[in-house]
Structures are given as C-alpha cells and as structure tokens.
Amino acid sequence: MQLSVDNLIMPFFVVEGKNIKSPIKNFPGVFHLSIDKMLKDIDEIKKLGIPAVLLFGVTNKKDDVGSYAWDKNGVVQNAVKKIKQKHSDVVVITDVCLCGYKSDGHCGIMRIKNEKLKMKNYGIDIETTLKYLSKIALSHAGAGCDFVAPSAMMDGQVKSIRNILNKNGFDNVGIFAYSAKFASNFYGPFREALESYPKFGDRKSYQLDYANTSDALRKIKQDIDDGADIVMVKPALCYLDIIKEAKQKFNVPIAAYNVSGEYSMIKFSASKGIISEKESVLEILTAIKRAGADLIITYHAKEVAKWLKQEN
C-alpha cells in the first residue's frame, strides 16, 4: 500500500475579480484566488499529476436563500467553464451547498423565522432546501463540471440532485456525496475562507454526532442507494474507523476529506519546528489511505505531489 498522486484532490476558494491572491486567516498557504490565478495553479497541478480539483465559490453577494449560488454567471460556474476550456482532462468537482451564499451561514433554509425561537429550534425547511440545492447542482452541470459534491447533509439531497440532473440530460455528471459529515471542531479555517460561520446556533441538527458510528454508515448506504457515485467521510483523521468500515461494507470509491483544521494544525506545528511537515503529512495521508480511502481531498496536495515525485 502506497500513497500516490492519483489519490489526491486539491480544493480551491475562488473569488470574482482579477489578479487576486489573498491569504485567509488561520489558513497558512491557502488563498482566495481569482479565476486567472486559479488557472495558473491548475497548470501546475496538472504538471504534478494531480487529477482532480474541488471548487468552492467565495462571495459577499449573500442573501436569505443563497441565490447567487445558482447564478449562471456566478464565480464557480465561470471557473468551471474556464478550467474546461483550458484543461478538459482535469476532473472538476464543485461543492454544492448554501452556507457560503446565505446571510445566516447555514447550509439549509430555516423553517423557524422567529428570532427567539431560532436559537432553540433551528429546524430546516427540507423541501425548499432540496429545491435550491438541486438548482445549484444543475447550474454547475450546465457549466460543464464532472461531479457535483453536495455537502449540506440534507436528507434526500443526492436523490433530488440525481433526478434533476437526469431530467436535464446530465446523466454523465456524477455525484460525489459528502455522505458522512460530522459536526466537527476542525472546520474553522474553512469557515474563515467562506465567511460561513453560522450566525446563530450550530450545525448539529444536520451534521453527524461524532460519538455515533451507525448513523454515518446508514447515511452512506442511503446515498449509494440514491445514486451517489463516490461517497465521502469528513473529516478524515478522527474518523479512520468509519472510513475502514465504509470500505469493507460498500462497493463504491470512498473519499476522505482532510479538512482545514487538520491541515492548519500541521502547518502551525511545523512552522514552530515541533514536527516535520513533510514526514507528518505523508504519515497522515498514508494512514487515511491505509484505512480505505481511495481519494483524499487535501490542501497539502501540491506539496505532497512534489514530495512523491522526489522519492521516485
């Protein structure tokens, strides 16, 4: 068993504008990039042999329903078109969620509008949420992505998205499902990147309890039954047992998301000389693969690809 560059997926945070490369708080080495800058990075990624990218749109055009997320000329839609024009062979995966586009920072539409009740019962209006998530997925497919990656953890999201894609002739667009996504403490730098901290409450009503295994496996099974092509466990490090069980039980590729907090912990420790960045990253990613992940989404992807090249 050996970690290989084919296993890696590189995430990008794309912003509108030109010639922008700006740092993100608590996220060393990761940047907000305008499309032109992202394309430069993708040239490099291609040379390094990294096969796939995962795109997140970053915007201040936020509203109550997240409508910019399905804008045909939105930043993700434009980024997909540009990548495909230049590098048709780079696999493009797009994140499908509302949290980066809604003013309240939640991944779904809230049923409870009363301010006082909100804190106690931030119930989700599932029907409306699924309708919007499907619109987003359809707009990404229309732009030419290879996979959509629904990450909102809303019941039924894979089924609704598969339906709308098929109805519109996008049978060939795959679903890369964030199936087992835990309510984790390791998403901090990512939320800085998207400015998507929930403005009230938390995400525990729709993300999984980290003490629970069976819910995660049930969610994965449901997503596969609903048409997911690849299923994901997220985060990776604290959930190697879930990755392993999923790999043993199911017959689809398993992806693991080495998330922003996991990444930054290593970066900060390495910058203080506590650990070696190269050795610890290789150990962690190899362990994630050993547990059963076929694909690993990681902000370390470029460095890892370089290290793997040196070693061969």
7 binds ligand PBG (CB under 6 A): no
Comparing CB distances to ligand PBG, the nearer of 68 and 190 is 190
How far is the CA of 305 from the CAs of 28, 72, 128, 147, 310, in angstroms?
18, 33, 41, 22, 9
In whole angstroms, the minimum distance from the beta carbon of 149 to ligand PBG comes to: 9
Site string for ligand PBG, 172-191 (x = CB under 6 A): ---------------x--xx
Is 260 one of the binding residues for ligand PBG (CB under 6 A)?
yes
94 binds ligand PBG (CB under 6 A): no
Active site residues: 181, 234
Q: What is each CA distance from 120 to 24, 140, 186, 278, 308, in whole angstroms? A: 32, 34, 24, 44, 49
Q: Return the structure tokens found at 175.
A: 């679903």
Under rule CB under 6 A, residue 32 binds ligand PBG: no
Nearer to ligand PBG, 133 or 305 (CB): 133
- Work out how close the CB of 187 gets to ligand PBG at its nearest, in angstroms, rounded to a whole number: 4
Location of structure tokens 């493009």: 92
Q: Which string of b and e fits 209-220 if b means at least 16 CB within 10 Å?
A: eeeeeeebbebb
CB of 285 to ligand PBG, least distance (A): 15
Q: Quick check: 237 binds ligand PBG (CB under 6 A)?
A: no
Specify the pairing of strand 21-23 against strand 31-34: antiparallel
Nearest distance, CB of residue 165 and ligand PBG, angstroms: 19
Residue 120 makes CB contacts below 8 A (sequence gap 6+) with none
For residue 235, is the peptide bond before it cis, meaning its omega torsion is within 30 degrees of 0? yes
| Residue 8 binds ligand PBG, judged by CB under 6 A | no
- 3-state SS assignment for residue 247: helix
Select from 34, 196, 264, 298 the one that contacts ligand PBG (CB under 6 A): 196
- Which residue, 95 or 104, has its beta carbon nearer to ligand PBG? 95
Structure tokens at 217: 């496996």
77 lies in the site for ligand PBG, by CB under 6 A: no
Q: What per-residue string of b and e applies to 243-261 under the rule 16 or more CB within 10 Å gives b? A: bbbbbeebebebbbbbbbb
Per CB under 6 A, 301 contacts ligand PBG: no
Q: By CB under 6 A, tell whether 34 contacts ligand PBG.
A: no
136 binds ligand PBG (CB under 6 A): no
Binding site for ligand PBG (CB under 6 A): 95, 97, 99, 107, 151-152, 187, 190-191, 196, 203, 259-260
